[in-house]
Amino acid sequence: MKLGAPLIKLPRRYCSATLEKEAAALPQSAWLPHPGRIPGNDAVPLITPAGQVSNGFAGPMAPTDALRQCPYIMEILADLGAVWGRSRLMGLAPGAIVPEHVDVGYYWRTHIRIHIPIVTNPKVAFSCDKETVHMAPGECWLFDSFCMHNVRNDGDAKRVHLVLDTVGGEKLWAMIADAKRFGRDGQPPVSVAPGSVGTAALAYEQVNLPTIMSVWEIRCHIDFLLQQCAAAPAREAIAARLEQFANAWGALWAQYGTNITGLAAYRHLIEQVQRDLQRLEAQRILLAGNDVPLDRALAELIFMIAAPGNAPVAATA
């Protein structure tokens, strides 16, 4: 999610010793390789579609058996006060990296990623935009995934983080607002001891992808991306073509809504506008701050998701 700051540290401190104990108690078989097969990257799924052991990120979410074995992690979820999506323990082997990348897809338009280090060392570095930090055990961080970011473990031991994806919640958004207002060291962290919170109120995502994207959401995403574009001679022509696309989508939306009988017509509009955007050289217009080509951002944020048929891809940093 675009947060307006590369890295934000929330005023929370969790017990890394308890977290390490819970993570160590899980069997080695619980660790899955990275879905993109990035060397040295693995994870334990904690919240997944239907609570099944997978790397999935779309569909009604539920806790896995691994999460049920980690009561303190469940207390952390309750303490942060959010609706939870795909979440994991994520490992990074000695000498391994998460390559530099930026996330502009549909998933990342709405989701925040929270990192809570469990096992780390001073040579683990998280870089986002032009800032690099070492996240200490038990701290609570989030980052702007709309910026270029990467992770390196130059130490000699495996790094393990608790990594939580969420659209937020009233309590979490209030924490984030305070953290941005007071700065990284402007608030003393609240220590959350094991057994002090309880887990009765956990909420999990049940809706995270549209059946067919509404015209209002189409317009929202187009406006967002055009606001990020650097000035270019073709920008106005591209904006006009996208307005035409949104108008045509609105007409189909009024006719079909989410009824799949309109699917072929929706897809036809997408094919037409993508051809025209290629002719208008939308790939030459870059988003400010991350240099992602506009045609890629439109494809990942809108065209791959707006009508069923193309499988979306989520980054896994």
Average pLDDT along the chain: 93
295's tokens = 């045609």
pTM exceeds cut of 0.85: yes
Q: Which of 251, 297, 255, 250 is nearest to 274 (CA)?
A: 297
Per-residue tens of pLDDT for the chain, all 317 residues = 999 899 999 999 999 999 999 999 999 999 998 887 788 999 999 999 999 998 888 999 999 999 999 999 999 999 999 999 999 999 999 999 999 999 999 999 999 999 999 999 999 999 999 899 999 999 999 999 999 999 999 999 999 999 999 999 999 999 999 999 988 888 899 999 999 998 778 999 999 999 999 999 999 999 999 999 978 889 999 999 999 999 999 999 999 999 999 999 999 999 999 999 999 999 999 998 899 999 999 999 999 999 987 444 444 44
Q: What DSSP string describes 131-151?
A: EEE-PPTT-EEEE-TTS-EEE
The answer regarding whether domain 7-204 maps to CATH 3.40.50.300 reads: no
Calpha distance 231→238 (Å, rounded) = 12
User: HSE of 175 in the Cβ direction (CA atoms, 13 Å)?
Assistant: 21
Number of neighbouring beta carbons within 10 Å of residue 240: 11
- pLDDT score of 245: 98
Q: Which of 264, 195, 210 is nearest to 58 (CA)?
A: 210
pLDDT, one tens digit per residue, over 270-290 is: 999 999 999 999 999 999 889
pLDDT, one tens digit per residue, over 223-273 is: 999 999 978 889 999 999 999 999 999 999 999 999 999 999 999 999 999
Beta bridge partners of 161: 90, 117
- The amino acid present at 40, given as its one-letter code, is G
- pLDDT score of 232: 84
Q: Is 177 helix (H, G, I), strand (E, B) or coil?
A: helix
- pLDDT score of 313: 47
- pLDDT score of 317: 47
Domain ranges of the chain: 7-204, 215-303
- pLDDT score of 316: 46
